[in-house]
């Protein structure tokens, strides 16, 4: 039997339990609504956006020479700013380091004077009394940044950025290229090897709530991948010497410019690409748009007499000639088709040997030797020796001009035998002589050794193509004749390299006037050769653009001799041990 006394507490307990169950049921219903029924809507409402985050910048790769010397790298620099308003507010509160003293400490680190630093702040306040920004100094080094940071000045702020530096300045600068203000490669190796050098940026991403707080556990980091290291075939020490030398020689001859190209005979690797005017990628403002690109690859010219050796090759293999084969040649002759050909010096009718035609560089003699084979055969030899094709795809590289035989007229039928009516670049000329020096085997030139990724993976370019362009016997006969040019030619005394047997051939090419003719008395001179003759190791090509003191190919003799001598020293090439054969006769 339930009494009134026991019914009261029990009723209150039931009511309380009912209330609790009701509240609990309400929470359960609401939870189901939040977690299941309206989950997507609530998530979208609670998040400000998905994938918020920051870019993690990678560092551009370096460029090094054949021995690992750094030629281009990226470094972190800091731009410093001041807050004039904060400086003045602190001055009113008698700071631990007064502005007069702090400005002197800052100046000592930045390389300014205390007055210059104080003037920056004063000028900013004169324009705006509430100024929060005044640029102090750009491109501070990491060491300077640390010293300034350690001053612990609340009004000193820094912005870090990456910049490109070229430790050796103008050494191979035209070949290295440069970046624009946005960091995009504009020329040279910087552009050619962009796929290796360019970094891959990473990202730090996360979810942010409406209150701006990062949601725990939502963070995701993709690390940046730094660019790789490009190793060149170039020897920077040799390049430095040759740049100084060609600058001196070009200016001595009153030339507009000059270049030296060095190629390793047995590999086709370019060991030096020196030129003047030279560009320092650290200081683009000191150069002109024309000098910011490599003239070695960008400029083509008629090779002139340097390509008489290629005509000789075609005649030897196509007409069965030898160095002793002869033609009669005067200094000026009119050919059956009406073409008139002149030699550079007056002489009576000589019974020139093929060797003698090369030694005296007789245009008339080579015209007669060259036309003993058909124009199509000569065209094929020019093409096989590299005329009309780019050497290695260098940015802005030109391939030269090789007109089809159908465009050869009465005059060019003969002028093509002595290096006119087609154009080449210095690397193409070097490549042609590399083939002669290498027993007739032409190897594609190369400038890149490898790309080493940030993970240490080394990627090397495809092996260069090899082509036997003339027989080994033909190459040996050409080498013998070219050595006789060096010994018996007009520049013999000026190009001797003590201890070494050397080949050489000069070129004195007329310069186009842009209207189908040539400039009067203006020439593009060149000299090419290789050494040692008994074991060819290096080809050297020297060019001078429109010299004015000496306008003949003799202008290049001094530079060629100095360049070849330095190359032999740099690579410690053993002197010649086999004496030269008997001199070839100039006349039959």
pLDDT digits (tens, 9 = 90+) for 512-571: 887 878 888 899 999 999 999 999 999 999 999 999 999 888 899 999 999 999 999 999
For residue 47, the cross-strand partners are 209
- Cα(168)–Cα(189) distance, rounded to whole angstroms? 15
Q: Whose structure tokens read 């391939």? A: 399
- Cα(322)–Cα(327) distance, rounded to whole angstroms? 12
Beta-carbon contacts of 290 under 8 Å, excluding residues fewer than 6 positions away, are: none
Backbone angles phi, psi at 398, to 5 degrees: -105, 155
Beta-carbon contacts of 587 under 8 Å, excluding residues fewer than 6 positions away, are: 326, 350, 351, 352, 353, 356
Distances, alpha carbon 328 to alpha carbons 177, 350, 359, 371, in Å? 51, 5, 15, 14
3-state secondary structure 136-167: EEEEECHHHHHHHHCCCCCCEEEEEEEEEECC
Give tens-digit pLDDT for 569-582: 999 999 999 999 99
- Cα(358)–Cα(354) distance, rounded to whole angstroms? 6
Distances, alpha carbon 47 to alpha carbons 35, 38, 208, 325, 517, in Å? 15, 14, 6, 91, 74
For residue 541, the cross-strand partners are 261, 528
Count Cβ atoms within 10 A of the Cβ of residue 182 and give its class: 0-12 exposed, 13-18 middle, 19 or more buried: exposed
Q: What local confidence, expressed as pLDDT, does residue 211 receive?
A: 52
- Do the beta carbons of residue 257 and residue 250 sit within 8 Å? yes
Which strand (E) or helix (H) includes residue 86? helix 84-92
- Do the beta carbons of residue 255 and residue 240 sit within 8 Å? no
Name the token pair of 495.
């190009």
Give pLDDT tens digits along the chain (588 positions): 455 555 566 677 766 676 777 767 676 666 666 565 665 655 555 544 444 556 667 889 999 999 999 999 998 889 999 999 999 999 888 888 999 999 999 999 999 999 999 999 999 999 999 999 999 999 899 899 999 999 999 899 998 888 899 999 999 999 999 999 888 999 999 999 999 999 988 876 767 665 555 677 667 777 778 999 999 999 999 999 999 999 999 999 999 999 999 999 999 999 999 999 999 999 999 999 888 999 999 999 999 999 999 999 999 999 999 999 999 999 999 999 999 999 999 999 999 999 999 999 999 999 999 999 999 999 999 999 999 999 999 998 999 999 999 999 999 999 999 999 999 999 999 999 999 999 999 999 999 999 999 999 999 999 999 999 999 999 999 999 999 999 999 999 999 999 999 999 999 988 888 787 888 889 999 999 999 999 999 999 999 999 999 988 889 999 999 999 999 999 999 999 999 999 999 999
**What angle do helix axes 99-110 and 114-127 make, rounded to 10 degrees?**
120
Helix (H, G, I), strand (E, B) or coil at 576: coil
- Do the beta carbons of residue 342 and residue 414 sit within 8 Å? no
């Amino acid at each position: 039997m339930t009494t009134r006394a026991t019914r009261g507490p029990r009723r209150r307990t039931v009511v309380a339990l009912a209330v609790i169950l009701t509240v609990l049921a309400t929470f359960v219903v609401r939870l189901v609504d939040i977690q299941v029924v309206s989950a997507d809507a609530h998530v979208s409402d609670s998040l400000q956006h998905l994938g918020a985050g920051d870019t993690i910048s990678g560092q551009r790769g370096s460029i090094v020479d054949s021995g690992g010397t750094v030629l281009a790298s990226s470094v972190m620099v800091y731009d410093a700013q001041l807050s004039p308003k904060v400086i003045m507010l602190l001055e009113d509160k008698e700071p631990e380091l007064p502005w007069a003293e702090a400005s002197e400490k800052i100046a000592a680190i930045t390389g300014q004077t205390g007055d210059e630093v104080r003037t920056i702040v004063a000028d900013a306040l004169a324009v705006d009394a509430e100024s929060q920004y005044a640029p102090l100094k750009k491109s501070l080094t990491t060491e300077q940044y640390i010293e300034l940071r350690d001053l612990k000045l609340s009004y000193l702020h820094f912005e870090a950025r990456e910049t490109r530096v070229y430790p050796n300045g103008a050494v191979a600068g035209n070949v290295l290229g440069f970046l624009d203000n946005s960091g995009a490669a504009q020329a040279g190796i910087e552009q050619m090897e962009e796929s290796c050098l360019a970094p891959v940026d990473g990202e730090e991403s996360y979810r942010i709530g409406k209150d701006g707080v990062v949601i725990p556990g939502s963070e995701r980091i993709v690390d940046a991948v730094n660019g790789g290291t490009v190793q060149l075939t170039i020897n920077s020490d040799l390049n430095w010497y040759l740049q100084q030398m060609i600058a001196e020689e070009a200016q001595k001859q009153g030339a507009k410019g000059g270049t030296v190209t060095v190629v390793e005979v047995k590999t086709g690797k370019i060991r030096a690409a020196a030129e003047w005017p030279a560009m320092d990628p650290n200081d683009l403002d000191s150069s002109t748009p024309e000098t910011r690109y490599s003239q070695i690859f960008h400029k083509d010219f008629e090779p002139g007499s340097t390509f008489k050796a290629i005509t000789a090759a075609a005649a030897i293999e196509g007409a069965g000639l030898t160095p002793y084969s002869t033609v009669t040649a005067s200094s000026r002759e009119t050919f059956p088709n009406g073409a008139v050909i002149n030699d550079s010096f007056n002489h009576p009718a000589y019974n020139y040997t093929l060797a003698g035609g090369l030694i005296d560089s007789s245009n008339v003699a080579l015209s007669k030797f060259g036309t003993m084979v058909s124009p199509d055969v000569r065209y094929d030899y020019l093409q096989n020796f590299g005329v009309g094709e780019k050497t290695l795809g260098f940015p802005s590289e030109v391939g030269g001009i090789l007109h089809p035989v159908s465009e050869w007229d009465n005059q060019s039928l003969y002028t093509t035998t002595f290096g006119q009516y087609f154009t080449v670049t210095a690397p193409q000329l070097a490549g042609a002589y590399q083939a002669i020096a290498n027993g007739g085997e032409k190897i594609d030139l190369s400038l890149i050794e490898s790309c080493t990724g940030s993970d240490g993976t080394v990627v090397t370019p495809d092996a260069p193509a090899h082509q036997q362009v003339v027989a080994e016997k033909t190459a040996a006969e050409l080498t013998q004749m070219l050595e006789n040019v060096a010994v018996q030619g007009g520049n013999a005394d000026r190009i001797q390299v003590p201890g070494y047997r050397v080949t050489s051939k000069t070129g004195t090419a007329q310069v186009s006037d842009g209207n189908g003719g040539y400039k009067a008395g203006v020439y593009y001179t060149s000299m090419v050769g290789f050494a040692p003759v008994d074991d060819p190791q290096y080809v050297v090509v020297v060019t001078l653009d429109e010299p004015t003191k000496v306008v003949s190919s003799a202008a290049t003799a001094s530079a060629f001799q100095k360049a070849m001598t330095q190359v032999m020293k740099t690579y410690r090439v053993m002197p010649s041990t086999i004496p030269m054969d008997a001199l070839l006769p100039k006349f039959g």
